[in-house]
Homo-oligomer: A and B are copies of this chain.
Amino acid sequence: MRNEQAIDALIRVLGADLVATGLGIPDRRHGDWSGVPASVPRALLRPYSTGQLARMLHICNEFGQPVVAQGGLTGLAGGACCAPGEVAVSLERMNAVEEVDAISGTLTAQAGCTLEAVQEAAGAAGFLFALDLGARGTCTIGGNLSTNAGGNRVIRYGTMRDQVLGIEAVLADGSVIGGLHKMVKNNTGYDLRHLLAGAEGTLGIVTRVVLKLHPQPRSVSTAWCGLPNYEAVTALLQRAQAELPGGVSAFEVMWPGYLDFMMEKVKGLRAPLPGRHAMNVLMESAGADDVHHPAAFDDFLARMLEEGVIEDAAVARSSTDARSLWAVRDATAQLPVLLPGMAAFDVSFAIADIGRAALECEALLREHWPNGTALVYGHLGDGNLHVIAHADGGRPETRAQIEERVYDLTRRYRGAVSAEHGIGLLKRKVLGHTRSPAELAAMRAVKNALDPKGILNPGKVI
């Protein structure tokens, strides 16, 4: 009833074009990549401007109408799914790159812009926008910020929060936070930008951002390394960070079961190295020139080979070579098809703990599900481990048991139950594994302060 009043008021004030209902809502707005069963939104709000969104939220807040902000719907935690009666907001009509400021090294974009469009606009101006992830063509900058997205280059450039200098956002009551600044340093009170980053649309809806741009690297060197043990992996990481000019731009680690599985199951993959190694690392370094940097990269690997840190290495001599090495890591995109009903984890630990945590995780999965599959890989420099576990044909009950055990292990190692995918709906029950009761109480207090009626993405995160 109240619900109908809110929709009526929205249509009356903003018009049917901005407030779609029923068949006017595209199918793809019904759910995200998480597989969470979602409801059709009661209405889909598609503003052209921050002012329109402000009026929308003001009305929803008046009526206590719940609102779910949706970006490209590529999330894996159900953070953008609607419950019955909820209204969705999409900024797909606010998708412009508004400015590239080549002197300040900034790009200003509307939140509905895809990550790829931002990357391309930065590239056309001779810059690099550093965030990158597989969903780049679909996910949006607003979603990237709201989930504090990560990806492969975090080790060099940080997560999404580190790419943002200024934000404009609309709060639950329709007030507009106007902080579209280009300053690198701004110590003027509380940092609302960092508060909204990673809040998954529960504290406000980001409408525009000022992003930091980086110089484009002049060369990229890539190698696959085979190593004898986890200690060698952490040694290689530290040595590479210290001794390679420009450090490391990607450091992807794969345990041997991962490689065995991919080589068997995925057609067209080429084994990076002839032998089998206890650990595998795909390492990338971006350089400021294309002569000395590749030479320094080769020298470094030769040194590591000589010192026994690595057992073998394959250096990419062309972009085709590099793509072929990355294909082994990117084959994870095929996992949902290869292992339907799999449990997928995105956890993080102190780097010093990862070796033991990974072994223990593999062992407990093998112990309880000896015929199952367990794959372990991750962005090691960020302490971010991905674990894939599949048993009993992917039955939901088995998945739930696996999740309980792996999240329990994460808690014991004082790790994070989500390194980059976020909490959304799916990980709410294990949020307390990582955050203390006092932290959860502080989070709730902040939520109540900024959204006293609880209309923004209710039931998500906390």
Which residues of chain B come closer than 8 Å to A422, judged between CB atoms? 187
Given contacts A104-B352, A245-B245, A445-B449, contact A416 B181 (CB under 8 A): yes
B101, B415, B421: the one contacting A352 at CB < 8 Å is B101
Cβ of A36 under 8 Å from chain B: no
Q: Is the CB of B442 within 8 A of A177?
A: yes
Nearest neighbor of A443 in chain B, beta-carbon distance: B190
Cβ of A350 under 8 Å from chain B: yes
Given contacts A187-B418, A351-B105, contact A175 B441 (CB under 8 A): yes
Q: A103-B352, A177-B442, A218-B243 are in contact. List 7 more A-B contacts (CB 8 A).
A: A101-B352, A104-B350, A105-B238, A176-B438, A181-B350, A187-B419, A215-B242
Interface size on A, residues (CB 8 A): 96
Question: Which A residues lie at the B interface, using CB under 8 A?
Answer: 101, 103-106, 147-148, 150, 154, 158-159, 161-162, 171, 175-179, 181-192, 194-195, 197-199, 203, 214-216, 218, 234, 238, 241-247, 287-289, 292-293, 296, 348-353, 379, 381-384, 414-423, 427, 431, 434-436, 438-443, 445-450, 461-462
Task: Give chain B nearest CB distance to A107 CB in angstroms.
Answer: 12
B176, B187, B423, B431: the one contacting A416 at CB < 8 Å is B187
B103, B187, B419, B449: the one contacting A185 at CB < 8 Å is B419
Give the top 7 A-B pairs by smallest Cβ distance, nearest first.
A194-B194, A215-B242, A245-B245, A449-B449, A182-B350, A103-B352, A185-B419
Which residues of chain B come closer than 8 Å to A381, judged between CB atoms? 184
A101 to B348, CA, bound (A): 16
Which residues of chain B come closer than 8 Å to A417, judged between CB atoms? 188
Most buried by B among A148, A186, A199: A186
A-B contact pairs, 15 of them (CB 8 A): A154-B184, A171-B442, A175-B441, A176-B436, A177-B438, A183-B348, A185-B419, A187-B198, A188-B417, A188-B435, A189-B431, A189-B440, A215-B241, A242-B288, A292-B292
Task: Give chain B nearest CB distance to A453 CB in angstroms.
Answer: 13
Nearest neighbor of A288 in chain B, beta-carbon distance: B245
B177, B242, B441, B449: the one contacting A446 at CB < 8 Å is B449
A247 to B178, CA, bound (A): 32
Which residues of chain B come closer than 8 Å to A162, judged between CB atoms? 158, 162
Which residues of chain B come closer than 8 Å to A198, judged between CB atoms? 187, 189-191
Which residues of chain B come closer than 8 Å to A449, judged between CB atoms? 445-446, 448-449
